[in-house]
A and B are shown apart, each in its own frame.
Chain A
Amino acid sequence: MIPEFGHFALILSLGLALLLSIVPLLGSFRGDQKAMAMAPSLAIGQFVFVGIAFGCLVWSFIADDFSVALVANNSNSLMPAALKFAATWGNHEGSMVLWILFLSGWTAAVAVFSTALPLVLLSRVLSVLGFVAVGFLLFSLLTSNPFERLLPGVPQDGADLNPLLQDPGMIIHPPLLYMGYVGFSVAFAFAIAALMGGRLDASWARWSRPWTNAAWAFLSIGIMLGSWWAYYELGWGGWWFWDPVENASFMPWLAGTALIHSLAVTEKRGLFRSWTVLLAIFAFSLSLLGTFLVRSGVLTSVHAFAADPARGVFILAFLGIVVGGSLTLYALRAPAVQSRIGFEWISRESLLLLNNVVFLVATLTVLFGTLFPLITDALQLGKYSVGPPYFNAVFLPLMALLIPFMGVGPTSRWKRDATRRWVQELAAPAIAALVIGLVFPFVYGGEFNLWVMLAVILAGWLALAMLRDFAIRVRNAASLGAGLRRLPASYWGMQAAHLGFAITVVGVVLVSQYAVERDLKMSPGDVEEVAGYSFAFNSLEPVQGPNYVADGANFTVLRDGKPVAVLQPQKRRYLASGQIMTEAAIDAGAFRDIFIAMGEPLENGRAWAIRLHYKPFVRWIWAGAIAMALGGFLTLADRRYRRARQSVTAPTGGGLEAA
């Protein structure tokens, strides 16, 4: 019965979403207060019913209800409970329900936290979100029903979850990623609502900023977890592959990065308004496009879902309605007149414009590279694909171009600034960064390395210019503590995110330049030397897991004769599916990782191909991403957003708010 309850709840939420997408919107154009006031309750109701549906699906997985096709295909009675829980979204149908759950969650959150918004705007924002929910609920119910039963002929046991996904990282990676993906729908809804009302002003930007920052922060963490998962679970020691599915999540992030910067200009200066609206549409469109690419089978990828053309046609049609509709609205309603407010070339506006251009070009670059195989195939030019060399060749110079200006950004002034002032304030950090960058490769690596030098100069410049900016901002304060306390949360957030970027740059370049990888044939008793560490292969023994059997190796890693770590990589065979998995063993450290993976058995299992990696600074990549996300979340604490709400309440506030 439970799955049927879930199915029914999903249908009910579709009904509520339909109402939400129509009634308040019509009401907002006809000035019908009652119709508009329905929006928040409908939004919350929709969330409740999607929540019930999701709960029923989770229950089916936890309770091993193999009469549900989805459970039978993606779970197994031997799996630990936490993995059964995660298996709920480790597949196409279930992840769609998770998508919808988060979409409804964001919608309900807007309904709850934005009571101070003018009712016309709020009802339109919620209606737009409701419309998006209608599309995805229909998609789920019509083409990918998660509650489909296998009756009669219930299988004895499930086919098991793809072993690659049987991992704690997989429990949290998709939810966070989807939180980000879906979160951009709020920025999108605000943009569309603003276009409908024809009011694209600073207050619109201020309302959508915290939502956009939160979505961006979630997406940052989600992408970071995906990269980390690929690193330890795929067993190759790589952390980013420019795979279409990775790109699908990276593109909205890049566009979102441009958006949060552009929103800053629109809020503070009222500039770039059409541009910001376009970016908001663009970021969410890329989220939808990502969904299409991952689920339609138009591109091959290591972790795309099963291809199904019917689903592809549905999402493409929906994509056409949402994106085509909003771009048409944009073309008709966006302010075409240039705003009278101006700014000079040497100003913070220019720097943020540069940020926007760089991130937009980066997004389009990734988009082009991702779709290139599709385009050449469609034009019958042959089957091609572009690999990491293309992406790296375009992407890295863009980021390198960005950083010099990024260092100036926080110190720069709006409207008009002077290069002389920049030189005066920032010459010291620039020189210090140059010196550190020049010295670092010799001290750390023992020889000159151009890329390491450039990376350290750029990252050092970012970090030192940031410190300098802190100093500038507190120099008139009574004490250092008082000065720091006076700085708003959004400033701390920005600095944390920028510092995170610098940390990631260091991680990316150093690990790609200094990593050592050796593939060796080893038998128990062998000792090999890699990057100053000795790897002693102690023993080889069979391991029995809950739903797999494995060959397990036992290594002691020594440095200067002293043991550093005991590592136990495994080669697993999952019982239900027969799939073979490489379970790497990693000794993590702030400055280096040691990574052992088992390759193939040799000589009838007496020896193994063993992959030994030494990866310096690899953790910095993810530490930086965490700092960026933290920065995004920090901005939410800014008092400005709460103040803004109060000031908006005053003129429109009804009796309830006043009381």
Chain B
Amino acid sequence: MKRLRLFLPLGLFLVLSGFLLVGLRLDPQALPSALIDKPLPTFALPALGQDRVVDQAAVTGEVSLFNVWATWCASCRVEHPFLTRLADAGVPIYGINYKDEDAEALRWLDELGDPYRVSIVDAEGSLGLDLGVYGAPETYVVDTAGVIRYRHVGVVDERVWADILEPIVNELKREQLAGGPL
């Protein structure tokens, strides 16, 4: 019996190895949103620099990107020029100005250019909370029905766009033309 007890460390180690083995197949970088394949949460928030309120219906209808940004976010500054190029190329991008000050945000867009169709003011972070935002910047791909189809955490640059986001956007557009499975 005493001898059996000495096998305990070995048993524990085997359990641990099992987890490590499974862990090798998982990608810790992938942070799936709880909202993948669910519609955008409902909201009614002010539009940045405009005297109107935007709700989810006002920003759906097209395959578009939703970009969470803020002036306090250094990486947002990094991805901003690329977003502007995307917008110039005709990709619809909506901004979610996350936990920011309106004046600062407007000055930022003034200085750096405005790639957004409209920026939704999420000063309290309530929309961000519903979306499960980890931190700015994050970018969501939303289809014509207003359903979230993909979420990217971190900077969107040329490579991310070409390797990940563009194929998804194109796929969604094709679905739309074909009448779509959803």
Give A contacts to B, CB under 8 Å.
274, 278, 281-282, 285, 292, 296-300, 309, 312-313, 316, 319-320, 323-324, 327-328, 330-332, 334, 336-337, 371, 373-375, 377-378, 383, 600, 604
B28 located at the interface, meaning its Cβ lies under 8 Å from any Cβ of chain A in the complex: yes
A324 to B9, CA, bound (A): 9
Q: How far is the CB of A31 from chain B (nearest CB, A)?
A: 28
Quick one: which of A332, A374, A604 contacts B19, CB cutoff 8 A? A374
Given known A300-B29, A309-B24, A383-B31, contact A336–B3 (CB-CB < 8 A): yes
User: Lowest 8 A-B CB distances belong to which pairs?
Assistant: A327-B10, A336-B2, A298-B23, A378-B22, A374-B23, A331-B6, A331-B7, A300-B28
Decide: A331 and B17 in contact? CB cutoff 8 A.
Answer: no
A308 to B3, CA, bound (A): 39
List residues of chain B with CB within 8 A of the CB of A274.
6
Decide: A319 and B19 in contact? CB cutoff 8 A.
Answer: no
| Cβ-closest chain A residue relative to B111 | A604
| Cβ-closest chain B residue relative to A319 | B17
A383 to B6, CA, bound (A): 34
| Cβ-closest chain B residue relative to A378 | B22
List residues of chain B with CB within 8 A of the CB of A383.
31-32
Q: Which of B5, B10, B19, B32 has the most CB of A within 10 A?
A: B10
Q: How far is the CB of B157 from chain A (nearest CB, A)?
A: 11
28 A-B residue pairs with CB within 8 Å: A274-B6, A278-B9, A282-B9, A298-B20, A298-B28, A299-B28, A309-B25, A320-B17, A324-B10, A324-B14, A324-B17, A327-B13, A330-B6, A331-B3, A331-B7, A331-B9, A331-B10, A336-B2, A371-B16, A374-B19, A374-B28, A375-B19, A377-B26, A377-B28, A378-B19, A383-B31, A600-B74, A604-B111
Quick one: which of B5, B6, B21, B29 contacts A316, CB cutoff 8 A? B21
Q: How far is the CB of B101 from chain A (nearest CB, A)?
A: 13
Quick one: which of A309, A327, A336, A371 contacts B9, CB cutoff 8 A? A327
List residues of chain B with CB within 8 A of the CB of A327.
9-10, 13
Decide: B17 and A337 in contact? CB cutoff 8 A.
Answer: no
User: Chain A: interface secondary structure?
Assistant: helix
List residues of chain B with CB within 8 A of the CB of A309.
24-25
Given known A316-B21, A337-B2, contact A374–B26 (CB-CB < 8 A): yes
List residues of chain A with CB within 8 A of the CB of B77.
600
List residues of chain B with CB within 8 A of the CB of A378.
19, 22-23, 26
Decide: A297 and B28 in contact? CB cutoff 8 A.
Answer: yes
List residues of chain B with CB within 8 A of the CB of A337.
2
A328 to B23, CA, bound (A): 24
Decide: B28 and A373 in contact? CB cutoff 8 A.
Answer: yes
A217 to B2, CA, bound (A): 35
Give B contacts to A, CB under 8 Å.
2-3, 5-7, 9-10, 13-14, 16-17, 19-26, 28-29, 31-32, 74, 77, 111
List residues of chain A with CB within 8 A of the CB of B5.
336
Decide: A334 and B28 in contact? CB cutoff 8 A.
Answer: no
Q: How far is the CB of A248 from chain B (nearest CB, A)?
A: 13
List residues of chain A with CB within 8 A of the CB of B74.
600
Decide: A296 and B24 in contact? CB cutoff 8 A.
Answer: yes
List residues of chain B with CB within 8 A of the CB of A324.
10, 13-14, 17
| Cβ-closest chain B residue relative to A312 | B24
Decide: A334 and B17 in contact? CB cutoff 8 A.
Answer: no
| Cβ-closest chain B residue relative to A383 | B31
List residues of chain A with CB within 8 A of the CB of B21.
316
A323 to B29, CA, bound (A): 28
List residues of chain A with CB within 8 A of the CB of B19.
371, 374-375, 378
List residues of chain A with CB within 8 A of the CB of B7.
331
A281 to B8, CA, bound (A): 14
Decide: A292 and B20 in contact? CB cutoff 8 A.
Answer: yes
Q: How far is the CB of A297 from chain B (nearest CB, A)?
A: 7
Q: How far is the CB of B10 from chain A (nearest CB, A)?
A: 4
List residues of chain B with CB within 8 A of the CB of A296.
23-24
List residues of chain A with CB within 8 A of the CB of B6.
274, 330-332, 334, 336
| Cβ-closest chain A residue relative to B29 | A300
A300 to B22, CA, bound (A): 15
| Cβ-closest chain A residue relative to B78 | A580
A336 to B5, CA, bound (A): 9
Q: How far is the CB of B18 from chain A (nearest CB, A)?
A: 8
List residues of chain A with CB within 8 A of the CB of B111.
604
Decide: A298 and B26 in contact? CB cutoff 8 A.
Answer: yes
| Cβ-closest chain B residue relative to A338 | B2
List residues of chain A with CB within 8 A of the CB of B17.
316, 319-320, 324
A649 to B26, CA, bound (A): 54
Q: Given known contacts A374-B28, A378-B23, what 19 new A-B pairs fall within 8 Å (CB)?
A: A300-B28, A300-B29, A316-B20, A316-B21, A316-B24, A319-B20, A323-B13, A324-B17, A327-B9, A327-B10, A330-B6, A330-B10, A331-B3, A331-B7, A336-B2, A336-B5, A336-B6, A374-B19, A378-B22
A604 to B25, CA, bound (A): 45
List residues of chain B with CB within 8 A of the CB of A330.
6, 9-10
A374 to B9, CA, bound (A): 20
